[in-house]
């Protein structure tokens, strides 16, 4: 079985009937949505509601007839299951290369437990060492935002589609990719700078949010718990 699928199977153990669950976005979470749909179809799970983090996830959930609600309708989620692009030893994350970082962060800020499902290739010693940090920006003055991002010790560029048009989020915003040559030196400092900058809608640093990281590897499943 694919490692991502193995991680998704392990996450399903935490789901109980009657829960309201945040459904993340990405290849690993797609396995989880499929497995959840199968459990509902067979009756092994009942009375589940899902809160999707993207239109793509919502479409997949509807195909399985998973009942969906909006975050406006629930005060707190029992559980969110989502993937990550990178996970460091503190269980801090880079997320957003699936283009849903803003909605993911909103949903994952409203849950009792945030379970991250990854394969072992996502584990890093320092965030920003394997891939870019995605940043959601306004389309207004997009080039100015990219210019400012390049002052932060990274190489930033507008995320473009294959046809050269700007990549768009479900929220109608653009995305930037920020590469750090030797990883991000201070994630807290960077997160603060990005949070305060007008025109930067959201960033892909998910710090101190993960409750549990389920890692699928060649030697089996590992579960990394966040310090209490």
Six-digit token pair at 92?
């801090």
The number of C-alpha atoms within 13 Å of 109 and in the hemisphere containing its C-beta is: 8
d(CA 133, CA 131): 7
Separation in Å, CA 133 to CA 6, 50, 56, 170, 198: 26, 27, 21, 18, 18
d(CA 212, CA 140): 37
Contact (CB, 8 A) for 57 and 70? no
Backbone angles phi and psi of 133, in degrees to 5: -90, 120
Nearest residue to 193 via CA among 228, 220, 154: 154
Helix (H, G, I), strand (E, B) or coil at 18: coil
Contact (CB, 8 A) for 126 and 183? yes
Which residue numbers are catalytic? 104
């Amino acid at each position: 079985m694919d490692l991502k699928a193995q991680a998704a199977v392990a996450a399903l153990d935490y789901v109980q009937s009657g829960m309201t669950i945040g459904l993340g976005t990405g290849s690993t979470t797609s396995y989880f949505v499929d497995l959840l749909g199968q459990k509902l179809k067979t009756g092994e799970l009942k009375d589940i509601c899902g809160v999707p983090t993207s239109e793509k996830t919502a479409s997949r959930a509807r195909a399985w007839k998973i009942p969906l609600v909006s975050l406006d309708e629930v005060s707190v989620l029992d559980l969110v299951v989502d993937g990550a692009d990178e996970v460091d030893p503190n269980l801090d994350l880079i997320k957003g290369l699936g283009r849903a970082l803003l909605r993911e962060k909103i949903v994952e800020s409203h849950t009792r437990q945030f379970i991250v499902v990854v394969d072992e290739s996502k584990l890093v010693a320092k965030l920003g060492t394997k891939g870019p940090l995605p940043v959601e920006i306004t389309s207004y003055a997009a080039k100015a935002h990219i210019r400012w991002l390049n002052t932060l010790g990274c190489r930033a560029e507008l995320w473009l589609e294959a046809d050269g048009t700007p990549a768009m989020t479900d929220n109608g915003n653009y995305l930037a990719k920020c590469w750090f040559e030797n990883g991000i030196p201070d994630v807290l400092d960077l997160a603060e700078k990005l949070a305060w900058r007008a025109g930067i809608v959201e960033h892909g640093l998910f710090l101190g949010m993960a409750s549990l990281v389920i890692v699928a590897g060649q030697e089996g499943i590992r579960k990394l718990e966040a310090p209490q």
